[in-house]
A and B are shown apart, each in its own frame.
Chain A
Amino acid sequence: MNMTATGQAGGMWSVGTRTIVYGAVGAALYAAAGYYSFFAQVPGTEGVYLRPAYGILTFFGFAFGPVVGFATGFIGNALADTLTGSGPIASWWWSVANGLAGLLAGVLAFRWLGSGNASLRAVVSVTATVAATAIGFLFIWIELVIQPELGSDVILWGEYVPAVVSNSLFGAILTPILVLAWEPLSARMGR
Chain B
Amino acid sequence: MRASFQYLGRGSWLARRDPRTKLLVALFFVIGVVQLRDARHLAIALALALGYYATAGIPFRRVRLQWLYLSVTIVLIAGLNTIITGGRAGGFIEADLHVLFTLPVLGSPITAEAISLSVSQTLRFLAIVAVSLPIAYAVAPGDFAVALRRLGIPDRGAFLVDLTIRFLPTLVNEFAETIDAQRVRGYDPLARRGGVITRIRRLAPIFVPVTIGAIADAEDTIDAMDLRAFGIGRRTWHRELRYHSTDWLLMAGGAAFLVAAGVLAITGSSPHYLLPFLIGE
Minimum C-beta distance from B114 to chain A (A)? 9
Asked if A46 meets B80 with Cβ closer than 8 Å, knowing A35-B3, A147-B124, A151-B89, the reply is yes
User: Contact: A55 with B171, CB < 8 Å?
Assistant: no
Residues from chain A with Cβ under 8 Å of B30 in the complex = 89, 92
A169 touches which one: B159, B200, B216 (CB < 8 A)?
A: B200
Residues 20-52 of A, flagged 1 when their CB comes within 8 A of B and 0 if not, give 111111011101110111010100111100101
Asked if A20 meets B129 with Cβ closer than 8 Å, knowing A52-B200, A169-B197, the reply is no
* CB-nearest residue of chain A to B37: A148
Residues from chain A with Cβ under 8 Å of B120 in the complex = 149
User: Contact: B225 with A21, CB < 8 Å?
Assistant: yes
Residues from chain B with Cβ under 8 Å of A52 in the complex = 199-200, 203
User: Contact: B163 with A24, CB < 8 Å?
Assistant: yes
Answer yes or no: A18 CB below 8 A from chain B CBs.
yes
B84 touches which one: A148, A158, A173, A178 (CB < 8 A)?
A: A158
B207 touches which one: A20, A50, A56 (CB < 8 A)?
A: A56
In the bound assembly, the distance between CA atoms of A132 and B128 in angstroms comes to 29
Residues from chain A with Cβ under 8 Å of B132 in the complex = 86-90
In the bound assembly, the distance between CA atoms of A93 and B108 in angstroms comes to 30
User: Contact: A174 with B200, CB < 8 Å?
Assistant: yes
Asked if A169 meets B196 with Cβ closer than 8 Å, knowing A32-B175, A89-B128, the reply is yes
Residues from chain A with Cβ under 8 Å of B218 in the complex = 21-22, 25
User: Contact: A185 with B216, CB < 8 Å?
Assistant: yes
Residues from chain B with Cβ under 8 Å of A85 in the complex = 66, 69-70, 73
Asked if A87 meets B196 with Cβ closer than 8 Å, knowing A33-B210, A36-B179, the reply is no
Interface residues of B in 1-22 (CB under 8 A from A): 1, 3-5
Answer yes or no: A117 CB below 8 A from chain B CBs.
no
Answer yes or no: B263 CB below 8 A from chain A CBs.
no
Some 14 contacts from A to B, beta carbons below 8 A apart, are A20-B225, A21-B222, A28-B168, A37-B190, A87-B132, A89-B135, A90-B129, A148-B37, A148-B90, A158-B80, A169-B200, A177-B207, A181-B211, A181-B212
Q: Other CB < 8 Å A-B pairs besides A35-B3, A56-B207, A177-B208, 5 of them?
A: A21-B218, A46-B81, A149-B117, A154-B80, A181-B208
From A75-83, A96-104, A105-113, A123-131, the one touching the partner chain is A75-83
Interface residues of B in 203-229 (CB under 8 A from A): 203-204, 206-208, 210-212, 214-216, 218-219, 221-222, 225-226
In the bound assembly, the distance between CA atoms of A37 and B159 in angstroms comes to 27
User: Contact: B171 with A28, CB < 8 Å?
Assistant: yes
Residues 149-191 of A, flagged 1 when their CB comes within 8 A of B and 0 if not, give 1110110011000000000011001100110011001000100
Answer yes or no: A15 CB below 8 A from chain B CBs.
yes
Minimum C-beta distance from A39 to chain B (A)? 8
User: Contact: B211 with A59, CB < 8 Å?
Assistant: yes
User: Contact: B167 with A24, CB < 8 Å?
Assistant: yes
Answer yes or no: A9 CB below 8 A from chain B CBs.
no
User: Contact: B3 with A154, CB < 8 Å?
Assistant: no
In the bound assembly, the distance between CA atoms of A135 and B55 in angstroms comes to 41
Residues from chain B with Cβ under 8 Å of A148 in the complex = 37, 89-91, 272
Residues from chain B with Cβ under 8 Å of A5 in the complex = none
Interface centre among A16, A147, A181 (most CB of B within 10 A): A147
In the bound assembly, the distance between CA atoms of A55 and B212 in angstroms comes to 13
User: Contact: B129 with A87, CB < 8 Å?
Assistant: yes
In the bound assembly, the distance between CA atoms of A1 and B250 in angstroms comes to 55
Answer yes or no: B201 CB below 8 A from chain A CBs.
yes
Minimum C-beta distance from B60 to chain A (A)? 15
In the bound assembly, the distance between CA atoms of A20 and B179 in angstroms comes to 28
In the bound assembly, the distance between CA atoms of A71 and B158 in angstroms comes to 11
Answer yes or no: B26 CB below 8 A from chain A CBs.
yes
Interface residues of B in 109-142 (CB under 8 A from A): 117-118, 120-121, 124-125, 128-129, 132-133, 135-136
In the bound assembly, the distance between CA atoms of A89 and B135 in angstroms comes to 9
In the bound assembly, the distance between CA atoms of A57 and B63 in angstroms comes to 28
In the bound assembly, the distance between CA atoms of A154 and B214 in angstroms comes to 39
In the bound assembly, the distance between CA atoms of A88 and B80 in angstroms comes to 24
